[in-house]
Each structure stands twice: as C-alpha cells, then as structure tokens.
Amino acid sequence: MTALLFYVQASVAAAIIGLITSWYDRKLTARIQWRVGPPFLQPFFDFLKLLGKETIVPAAASRTTFIFAPLFGLASVGVVAAILMKQAFYPGTSFVGDLIVVIYFLAMPPAATIIGGFASGNPLASTGASREMKLILAYELPFILAIITAIIKTGTIEIGQIVSFQAANGSLALSLSGALALAVGFICMQAKLGFVPFDMAEAETEIMAGTFIEYSGPLLAALKLTKFMMFTVMPCFLITLFMGGFSSGIIPGLLKYIVLVTLVVLVKNTNPRLRIDQAVRFFWGPVTGIAIAAIVLAFCGY
C-alpha cells in the first residue's frame, strides 16, 4: 500500500517537474531565437486543455491497443521515477538489480508510442513508428554499453551502491571512462527523448507528428506527459549513474539537472534533423565505438 502511494507521489512529482522543465525548454528556445516565449503556466494550460477535449478513436484503429498504449507508457515512466526518487530521498532502500529494472522500464515509453502508432491505422503514424523502432535499435546498444561502463567501474548493479561508491570515490564522470560513457549516455538521451537531431519519428514538417498523429484529447495529454516525464527522468538517471547522484544536497543536485537540461536544449536548437539511416550509422559507428572504448578503459582501471 505504501509502495503504491509512493509510486503515485513520485509520478505526480515527476509530472510537475517535467511540465516545468518543458516550460524551461520552450522559454530557452524562445530566448535563443530572440523571442519572448510562453508564460510560465503554459505547459499546464496545454495539459489541462487536452484533458478537456474530445477523444477520437479512428475507425481504422484497433481500439483497445490504441487507448491503452499511451497509458502503459505513462505508467512505466512512473515506475522509473519512483525507483530513482526513492533512491534519492531514502538512500539505502534500493534493491539488487534495480538498475536492470530501470533500463527495461526506460525502453517502455518508446515501445508504447510504437504500439500506439501502429494501432492507429494511419500510414504516416506507421512511418513514424517504423522510424522510432529503427532508432531504438540504433541507440539502445550504445546506451547499455555506457551503463555497463558504470557497472564495471563500481562492480554493482544496484543504484544505491553506485551512488554510495561515487560518494566515497568521487563521481564517475571525473574519470576518463566515466566521462566518455556520460557523453554516450547524453547522446542516447537526446534520441530517447525524441529531440532534434533525432526527432525523425515525429518530424512535424514531413510526417505531421508521426506516431502521435491520430491521438487527441486526454490520450494525447498522456503521450505528452510521458515525454515530459522522460525529460525529467532521463537526466536524473544519468546524474545518478555518472555524476554522483543527488546525495550531495538539493542545490548541487538541482544545478546538475539544470546543466544537463540546458545542454539538451542547446543541442536541440543548434542542429538539423538527421535522416533515419544517418542516425543509425551515427549510433552504430562513432557512438558505439566511444562506448566500447569507455568499457576497455574501465577494465584497465582508468
């Protein structure tokens, strides 16, 4: 019962932080483009408005899958938020193998958008879903290699122990292999969040929001919220793994988070969209190469 309560609390907290982060993203984007940008409550209004609109299930869609896919993604990202937050607020409560659980649940939201996209029966959504699938195949390999680097360095698959290891020996990002793994993780995060240059799954200018195209009303709100929560959870995950976690207090933790989010937004605003074949080549070529180099360095003790 308490676990369920904590799950709900963590999901709501991640959702609110995610909405604020998305405002920060839009405001920063606006300032980069020399505009004023949206007011602070804008993401909340967007969300509220979508909740109040009609939900349309297309005649060509398979109804159950279409409706449940977004909820499924939302619930999964909530689990990751709960695990990370429990670790941050109550150190020592993590369990062996929670890192593996987090990796699996982080793969769920993109999988849910793929399922939803295919279920909607729209050709553009299918195109988007197939691109998303190729993208997952591309970034998941270097992402897991980067995490394996952290496992080799710390010798554990428990998030709590990774954090306490870093508290004792300095954060992983300060070593050579850790820094390389963090860079790889950062690039994979950009792709996992579906931001430019890896937003070909929902490229508005060519396939009109791709996988999301048929969604409206509360279901679209759930999809957007999943994205925003991923935007909170992914940087927190990288901070926990490579940058010493949140054990050093609220202010340094917040600073780390803001730095990572700002970097994501800057990359997003200064790059053009890649084609899907370019993205796959990029991830399986240089990025995987760097990740393997990080693993070798970690084995040698650097």
Partner 1 sequence: MNWKLYSLLKSPWVFHLSTGSCNNCDIEILDFLTPRYDAERFGIQLVGSPRHADILLVTGAMNRKAAPLAKKIYNQMAKPCLVIAFGACGCTQGIFEGSYAVAGTVDSEIPVDLYIPGCPPRPEAIIAGIARLISSIKEKKE
Residues near partner 1 (CB under 8 A): 26, 30, 33-39, 41-42, 45-46, 48-49, 52-56, 204-205, 208-209, 212-217, 220
- Under 8 Å CB-to-CB from 29, ≥6 apart: which residues? 37, 265, 268, 269
**Based on CB atoms, which residue is closest to partner 1, 219 or 291?**
219
| Closest CB 58 distance from partner 1, rounded Å | 9
Write out the two tokens for 204: 């508005």
DSSP string over 53-106: SPP---TTS-HHHHHHHHHHHHHHHHHHHHHHHHHHHSTT---TTHHHHHHHHH
Distance CA 44, CA 302 (A): 45
CB of 251 to partner 1, least distance (A): 31
Cβ-based nearer residue to partner 1, 30 or 255 = 30
C-alpha 277/C-alpha 299 separation (Å) is 32
Residue with Cβ nearer partner 1 (39 or 97): 39
Question: CB of 226 within 8 A of CB of 52?
Answer: no
User: CB of residue 55 vs partner 1: minimum separation in angstroms?
Assistant: 7
Judged by CB, which is closer to partner 1: 53, or 275? 53
Neighbours of 176 (CB within 10 A): 13
Instruction: Write down the least CB distance from residue 226 to partner 1, Å.
Output: 16
- Give whichever of 41 and 296 is closer to partner 1, judged by the CB atom: 41
Q: Which is nearer to partner 1, 148 or 209 (CB)?
A: 209
Work out how close the CB of 134 gets to partner 1 at its nearest, in angstroms, rounded to a whole number: 21
d(CA 212, CA 120): 9
Question: What letter represents residue 46's amino acid?
Answer: D
Tokens of 108: 């769920």
For the CB of residue 14, give the shortest distance to partner 1 in the complex, in Å. 22
Q: Are 280 and 137 in contact (CB under 8 A)?
A: yes
Instruction: Determine if the peptide bond prior to 252 is cis (ω within 30°).
Output: no
